[in-house]
Amino acid sequence: MKDAVNKLGDQETKQAVLNHLNNIDYKIPELGESAALAVTRIEKLLKSSDIVETSDKIKLRAAQRAINKKAPFHGGKNSFNDAILIEIYADYVSNKKSAGVKFSFVTHNTSDFSLPNGNNKLPHPDIEFIFTKIKSSYYIKLTEAVQKIRPKLVSDLMLEHEWVEETRSLSDILEAMNELMDKIWYNRYQNWLYRIKIGELRIATKKDAGKYNPNVTSREVYNGARKAAKEKEKQFGKKNLGPWNNFEWGMLNGKLSALRWVLGDEWDFLDT
C-alpha cells in the first residue's frame, strides 16, 4: 500500500498518508502481543476452574430446545453448544445443594441469550425463568457482574488490566530522534570549532589541495557546517542547544541510543 501511495499519491497529501501508514505498521505487532496476553489470562482461568461434566439429561434438554426453536435456537442457527451452557447453568441454579449460593451468567452473546428487539441486558423470554433478583443474575459485561459482587475489586482490576499507557507513534519517535540527533550534532560542531580555534584542526588552504590530512577540513565543508548550525539555532533557539553538563550530555546520547534501538539499530549507535 505504501509503495502504491508513493508512486501514485497526490503530492500534497502523499507524505501525510505515508506517515499514517507507517504508524499503523509500527503498531500492528502490539495488537498481537495484546491478544497473546489475553489468551494467557484465559488459559490460566480455565486451568484453575472446575471441569463441569455434561450429562445426557442436559443434552436431551438442549436438543428439545432445538426442536422447539427456543433460545438460543430462535435465530435459525445451530447453537447447540450455547444451549448446553444455559442448561448446565440452570442445573446448578436449581440444585438443592446450591441453597444460599448466588449465581451469575455472563455472556457477550446477546443475539442468542438476550431479549430480542429490546434491552439486551435482560435475558431472552425463553430463559428468563432461570434468573431471579436474588439467586441468579444475567449480565452481558464481566465488569458489571464483578462490580455487583465486589465493587472495590473491579476498580483495582481495571487499573491493573484495562488501563494501558498509549505507546508513542512512529512519527513521534522519529521526530524525537531527529531532534536529539540535531542537538548532539550541534554540540559536536561547537567542539569542532573549539579545536579549530586552539589549532588542533584547521581549514584547508590552496597548499593543501590534493593532499589528505585528517586534521584539515575543506572550506566547503566548513561553510556547510556553519550554515547547518545557523538553521539549528533558528529551529530550536540557541538557548536550547547547550552547553550541556556531563549528566545532560549523557542523557541526550542515552535517549538517542534507546530510540534507535527501538527502531532496529544496535545499542550505542550515536552517529550524527
Q: How many CB atoms lie within 10 A of CB 110?
A: 14
- pLDDT number for residue 165: 59
Coil, strand, or helix at residue 104? strand
Q: How does DSSP classify residue 161? A: I
Residue 269, classified by CB atoms within 10 Å of its CB into exposed (0-12), middle (13-18) or buried (19+), is exposed
Q: Residue 179 half-sphere exposure, CB side, CA atoms within 13 Å? A: 13
- pLDDT number for residue 32: 72
Q: Angle at the Cα of 114 (from 111 to 118), degrees rounded to 5?
A: 95
- pLDDT number for residue 268: 84
Q: Tens digits of per-residue pLDDT, 33-63?
A: 777 888 888 899 889 988 888 999 999 999 9
- pLDDT number for residue 82: 94
Q: What's the sign of the alpha-carbon dihedral 246, 251, 256, 258? A: positive
Q: What is the DSSP string of 180-218?
A: HHHHHHHHHHHHHHHHHHTTSSEE--GGGTT---TTEE-
Report pTM.
Answer: 0.47
- pLDDT number for residue 160: 62
Give me the residues of the chain with pLDDT under 70, please: 30-31, 154, 157-166
Q: How many CB atoms lie within 10 A of CB 236?
A: 14
Residue 142 CA, chain-centre distance (Å), reads 22
252, 244 Cβ separation under 8 angstroms: yes
148, 141 Cβ separation under 8 angstroms: no
- pLDDT number for residue 164: 56
- Spatial separation of the C-alpha atoms in residues 223 and 233, rounded to whole Å: 15
Cis, bond preceding 125 (omega within 30 deg of 0): no
- pLDDT number for residue 158: 64
Find the Cα–Cα–Cα–Cα dihedral 183, 269, 19, 170, rounded to 10°: -100
Coil, strand, or helix at residue 126? coil
